[in-house]
Amino acid sequence: MKGSIAVIGSNSFSGASFCKHLLDQGMEVIGISRSEEPVNPLLPYKWGDHSKLNFHQLDLNQDLVDIERVLDQHKISTVYNFAAQSMVGQSWEFPEHWFMTNAVSTIKFHNMLRHKDYLDKYIHISTPEVYGSCFGFVNESQVFNPSTPYAVSRAAADMSLKTFFDVHAFPVVSTRAANVYGPGQQLYRIIPKTILSIMMGRKLPLHGGGLSERSFIHIDDVSAATQAIGEQGKDGETYHISTLDTVSIRHLVELICQKMGRDIHQVCEISADRPGKDAAYLLDSNKVRDEFAWKDKITLEQGIGQTIDWAKLNFEQLRSMSLDYEHKQ
């Protein structure tokens, strides 16, 4: 990978983990995120030498001129964009916030980038939510059928990018990953929330009985695939990143309970499902496996073990933090 690298959304779980992945290889990174850097247990790139990361607290919704100034100053050749308003269920409450960040501001960002002659590659981190509920594994040609405001807002930006590529030859490649997890993930996500709920003796709501089917993939495997796509992916193409295995949310929680010596019936209480929740979205990842010889290396059991160890190591800091999503406009 030549030239400078910018990671937009560098304080998100996936963005911060990807920064760590690059820093571990000795690369220099410009990190841009709208939020302040969180506590170290939730910022994976702070766990090692991060002297080559230059962080800027800037918001796509408000600070596009300043973001452009940073990119111009460093003549950024590669941009990875992890930034998004990401919670699905809560997008029903303020859909306009999701559309502003994920569609309007993101497309403004793309329109700015397409005029930069120093840009060689733009890697757009999208989501399988754009497909809606899928039965059986789907490949990258699957038709969009979004079922929530979040998914519609992401699909809008994806469709806009296709026109940018078709008309302007904008150098974009896109990724859609399965459910990511691992040490450092936000505490409201199902795996860390289950672990912390058990450690703190709290009841865990199991939405809809946990029947929905997902593929969970360790963030380190996702970071490796994302880098390969950024370096070798063909402009205009989309790549799925997923394991070959699937698991129901209930079975996932049962696995965590077993590892922590607890009974699921003591830990969980059944709650209503969220509106528009997809029963399953399962991604065919043969394309990234065949083109880049990539494969996932960390099993779900290993990854959950790592995440439990992380939670235990940082429990004194994590125990005082909320396990619920807190919306920011």
pLDDT for res 275: 61
Read off the pLDDT of each residue in 183-204 and give the average, rounded to a whole number: 96
User: What is the C-alpha radius of gyration for the chain, rounded to an integer number of angstroms?
Assistant: 19
pLDDT for res 206: 87
Quick: pLDDT tens for 232-276: 999 999 999 999 999 999 999 999 999 999 999 999 987 765 565
User: For the chain, what is the mean pLDDT?
Assistant: 94
**H-type alpha helices, 80-183:** 95-99, 106-113, 149-168
Give φ, ψ of 215 to 5 degrees: -115, 125
Q: Report the percentage of the chain scoring pLDDT > 90.
A: 86
Helix, strand or coil, per DSSP, at residue 191: helix
Pairwise pLDDT comparison (86 vs 130), residue with the higher score? 130
Measured CA to CA, the distance from residue 125 to residue 240 in angstroms comes to 10
The pLDDT of residue 81 is above 70:
yes
Read off the pLDDT of each residue in 185-200 and give the average, rounded to a whole number: 97
Measured CA to CA, the distance from residue 282 to residue 133 in angstroms comes to 9
Measured CA to CA, the distance from residue 242 to residue 249 in angstroms comes to 16
Confidence label for 89 from pLDDT (cuts 50, 70 and 90): confident
The pLDDT of residue 329 is above 70:
no
Domain boundaries, the chain: 4-180+216-241, 187-214+245-318
The pLDDT of residue 226 is above 80:
yes
The pLDDT of residue 118 is above 70:
yes
Confidence label for 277 from pLDDT (cuts 50, 70 and 90): low
Pairwise pLDDT comparison (128 vs 87), residue with the higher score? 128
pLDDT for res 153: 98
> Do 4-180+216-241 and 187-214+245-318 have matching folds?
no
Give φ, ψ of 90 to 5 degrees: -70, -15
Angle of helix 249-259 versus helix 190-200 axis, rounded to 10: 40
Confidence label for 1 from pLDDT (cuts 50, 70 and 90): very low
Read off the pLDDT of each residue in 318-326 and give the average, rounded to a whole number: 90
Q: Report the percentage of the chain scoring pLDDT > 70.
A: 96
Domain 4-180+216-241, CATH among 3.40.50.720, 3.40.1190.20, 3.30.460.10, 3.40.50.2300? 3.40.50.720
pLDDT for res 211: 81
Contacts of 242 (CB under 8 A, 6+ apart): 177, 178, 215, 217, 282, 283, 284, 285, 296
The secondary element (H helix, E strand) that includes residue 214 is strand 213-214
Residue 3 region by backbone torsions, left for phi larger than 0, else alpha for psi between -120 and 50, else beta = left
Least confident of 73-87, 149-163, 313-327: 313-327
Read off the pLDDT of each residue in 181-210 and give the average, rounded to a whole number: 93
187-214+245-318 adopts what CATH topology?
Answer: UDP-galactose 4-epimerase; domain 1 (3.90.25)
pLDDT for res 209: 79
